[in-house]
Amino acid sequence: MGRYSRIAIAASLFLLPVSVFAAGYGAAGCGLGSMVMGSQPGVEQIFASTTNATLGSQTFGITFGTSNCGDHGLIKITKEREVFAQENYTSLVKEMAQGKGESLYTLASLYQCPAGSHQEFGTMVQAKFDSLVPSDQTTSTELLSQLENQLTRHPTLAKSCNIKQAAANQ
């Protein structure tokens, strides 16, 4: 490797932290970990990185422009919700009935609900479960449509989650 190549690599390594912090997330990068742990330096970044790696949220976020990775993803957020709901439908319905769970909280994140409101999101979907999933034949698309109707009517979640973007992208 030539001298100039080594200099270019070294320079890019020094500039990487500047661009990472300018983007609004810590050393762990974007992803669910950055949303949960924040951008504070220190041990939190280890947990953020572990969360991103374990759940694959960083790759997903970069691809789709979510999870604090920017809003210029390859697929619009509504399409991301549709794909997520379709791929995780069985576990999502089960967790909705229970009012808690990883898939349910991920769906709340896809509606850009703050982490502090995920439990309230779970409580709401559990209470409205019969209208969200009225039959065994309910599709993931129908479920999301009903969920968005319920979210717009909820006094707290309608304000804290990004329902307007959900309605605008459809």
Domain boundaries, the chain: 3-64, 77-168
pLDDT digit string, tens, across residues 109-155: 999 899 999 999 999 999 999 999 999 999 999 999 999 999 999 99
Non-local (6+) Cβ contacts of 25 within 8 A are 34, 39, 68
pLDDT given for residue 79 in this prediction: 83
Q: What is the pTM of this model?
A: 0.56
pLDDT digit string, tens, across residues 52-87: 666 666 666 666 566 667 655 445 778 888 989 999
Non-local (6+) Cβ contacts of 60 within 8 A are 31, 66, 67
pLDDT digit string, tens, across residues 90-102: 999 999 999 999 9
pLDDT given for residue 80 in this prediction: 84
